[in-house]
Amino acid sequence: MGQRARLTHTCCVEKVAEPPAPEEVAEPSADGLDEEHRTTPVELLWDLVYVFAVTQVTTLISRNLSWGGFGRGMLVLALMWWAWSAFVWAANAESAGSPVLRLCLLAATVLIFIAGLAVPHAFGNEGTVFAVTYAAVRFLHLALYADASRKGNASWTAISGFAVTVAIGMVLLIVGSFTTGGLRIGLWAIALAIDYAGPAWLTRERLRGLQRVAVAHFAERYSLFVIICLGESIVAIGVAATGAGRHLSAELILAVTLSLLITIGMWWTYFDRFAAVAEARLRGHDDPVLAASDAYSYVHVVIVAGIITFAVGVRDLVRVLSSPLYGPARLAFCAGLALYLLGHVAFRLRLTNEVGYEKVVVSAALLLLYVLGGSLPAWAIAATVTALMAALCAIETALDGAARRFAQPAPGKDAGTEERVPSPSRLT
């Protein structure tokens, strides 16, 4: 009886429903696969390489801050993101101590580092190096998934379905690397579209039965990648502030402080509450594989793209200080942050069917600031954006507090039948 009471208390944190029977509680499978396993040290090493790769994408965009340069940067970012996300899924289907997982990730770590080295010249004379090493990483992912299937942790039918699209995409990527200019961009864009389309549409029904999602590991991995990208924006602030032997003047300190406060606000909107709520909602979802694929693999690329674009803009903002922030840099700064927030809106919408209207309003204000702020000094742009992010965080914190008070059980009622965690719609 005591065991059932404990289960009831645990279950009501995630959803208002009858507690599961004891035999339904997740247990490690025969091969050691644990539904609640966490990120392993080898995955953290893999992530460290991506810090460098993400930095290289920012460099690629910064070298040619134009629509063309932005498009090329986003194309490479989407490719790099897909390789990282693919390994999250495969590792999710492996036991934490799997030697195959370790070997595949270590080999992929070396290859993706080489691919990252080639990123700044991926559309020049190092395109083939980038394409071949990247394709090797994608095929290592398929090998890891095949091992998971052999152990009974993933569906071979689903894997073989999107393996075809991976192979076609990688062939186009390598072939495109031997071309130049618009033809290379076109072939790489087609390769990317085919690779993304594999699990998204072409094999979507088979994807539903791909594997049992280890929710704690899955949500943690994507949260860590957001942290990595936010770290890149902090690095961009520091590099711009210390470049060319600059001294720490009061004006520079102000610009750096405002930029860092904006980054903290970006962290707050993701991690203060909704990351945990999203994990709980995914845990209780009746279609967890498709929900995880949509909300994390696809929607999170928008969130990541927003952070990287913001990092490009913040570099120039810290450099110019009292001068107006020129058009492309101002667009990257304001629109990057707006894209990040709109990615949050889509993330919440997919998992809770609710719209975060406060983020939509702030995104619109940021785009308006870009249009009207051409004559404003850079520090004034940063101050305005800081105020908008502070207001957003304050509103969301107030809504969260109100929802918590509303969720408290009324005096005299059975606390076990009350909602312990408010609906996600009240939290953001």
For the stretch 251-266, pLDDT in tens is 888 989 999 999 999 9
User: Which residue bears the tokens 């599961």?
Assistant: 20
Instruction: Report the C-alpha gap between 357 and 68 in whole angstroms.
Output: 32
Residue 34: its pLDDT value, please? Answer: 52
Q: How confident is the model at residue 202 (pLDDT cuts 50, 70, 90)?
A: low
- 418 contacts: CB under 8 Å, gap ≥ 6: 12, 407, 408, 409, 410
pLDDT digits (tens, 9 = 90+) for 219-251: 899 999 999 889 888 988 888 888 756 788 888
Beta bridge pairs of residue 211: 154
Q: How confident is the model at residue 159 (pLDDT cuts 50, 70, 90)?
A: confident
Instruction: Report the C-alpha gap between 18 and 5 in whole angstroms.
Output: 11
Instruction: Report the C-alpha gap between 157 and 394 in whole angstroms.
Output: 48
Instruction: Report the C-alpha gap between 428 and 425 in whole angstroms.
Output: 6
Token reading at 69: 């340069």
Residue 111: its pLDDT value, please? Answer: 95
Q: How confident is the model at residue 24 (pLDDT cuts 50, 70, 90)?
A: very low
Per-residue pLDDT averaged across 67-76, rounded?
A: 92
- CA-CA-CA-CA torsion sign (243, 246, 252, 256): positive
SS3 labels along 348-399 = HHHHHCCCCHHHHHHHHHHHHHHHHCCCCEHHHHHHHHHHHHHHHHHHHHHH
Token reading at 421: 């965690």
Q: How confident is the model at residue 415 (pLDDT cuts 50, 70, 90)?
A: very low
What are the boundaries of each domain within the chain? 37-212, 214-408+423-428
Per-residue pLDDT averaged across 154-169, rounded?
A: 85
Residue 8: its pLDDT value, please? Answer: 43
Residue 232: its pLDDT value, please? Answer: 84
* Residue bearing the bigger pLDDT, 159 or 87: 87
pLDDT digits (tens, 9 = 90+) for 104-150: 999 999 999 999 999 999 999 999 999 999 999 999 999 998 888 88
The end-to-end CA distance of the chain, in Å, is 37
Whether the pLDDT of residue 10 is over 60: the answer is no
Instruction: Report the C-alpha gap between 66 and 77 in whole angstroms.
Output: 16
Residue 286: its pLDDT value, please? Answer: 82
- 265 contacts: CB under 8 Å, gap ≥ 6: 386, 389, 390, 392, 393
% of the chain at pLDDT higher than 90 = 43
Token reading at 106: 């270590």
Instruction: Report the C-alpha gap between 143 and 245 in whole angstroms.
Output: 48
Taking a C-beta distance cutoff of 8 angstroms, is the pair 359, 395 a contact? no
Residue 189: its pLDDT value, please? Answer: 96
Which helix (H) or strand (E) segment holds residue 291: the answer is helix 288-292
Whether the pLDDT of residue 272 is over 50: the answer is yes
Q: How confident is the model at residue 38 (pLDDT cuts 50, 70, 90)?
A: confident
Residue 203: its pLDDT value, please? Answer: 67
Q: Compute the mean pLDDT over every residue in the chain, rounded to the nearest whole number.
A: 83
Residue 244: its pLDDT value, please? Answer: 57
Token reading at 399: 């809504």
Residue 142: its pLDDT value, please? Answer: 92
Q: Which of 240, 292, 236, 297 is nearest to 266 (CA)?
A: 236
- Classified as helix, coil or strand, 324 is strand
Whether the pLDDT of residue 20 is over 60: the answer is no
Per-residue pLDDT averaged across 289-294, rounded?
A: 87
* DSSP secondary structure string for all residues of 233-265: HHHHHHHHHHGGG----HHHHHHHHHHHHHHHH
Q: How confident is the model at residue 407 (pLDDT cuts 50, 70, 90)?
A: low
What values do phi and psi take at 423, rounded to 5?
-60, 140
Token reading at 118: 């080639």
Query: Helices 67-92 & 215-242, crossing angle to 10 degrees?
Result: 150
Instruction: Report the C-alpha gap between 399 and 331 in whole angstroms.
Output: 30
- pTM equals 0.82
Residue 199: its pLDDT value, please? Answer: 78
CB atoms < 10 A from the CB of 407, how many?
A: 14
Whether the pLDDT of residue 412 is over 60: the answer is no
Per-residue pLDDT averaged across 338-351, rounded?
A: 94
Q: How confident is the model at residue 406 (pLDDT cuts 50, 70, 90)?
A: low
Token reading at 241: 């502030």
Residue 1: its pLDDT value, please? Answer: 44
Residue 15: its pLDDT value, please? Answer: 40
Per-residue pLDDT averaged across 189-208, rounded?
A: 81
Whether the pLDDT of residue 301 is over 50: the answer is yes
Per-residue pLDDT averaged across 333-346, rounded?
A: 95
Beta bridge pairs of residue 324: 377
What values do phi and psi take at 356, rounded to 5?
-85, 85
Q: How confident is the model at residue 405 (pLDDT cuts 50, 70, 90)?
A: low
User: Which residue bears the tokens 């902090």?
Assistant: 234
* DSSP secondary structure string for all residues of 50-96: HHHHHHHHHHHHHHT-SHHHHHHHHHHHHHHHHHHHHHHHHHHTS-T
Whether the pLDDT of residue 101 is over 70: the answer is yes
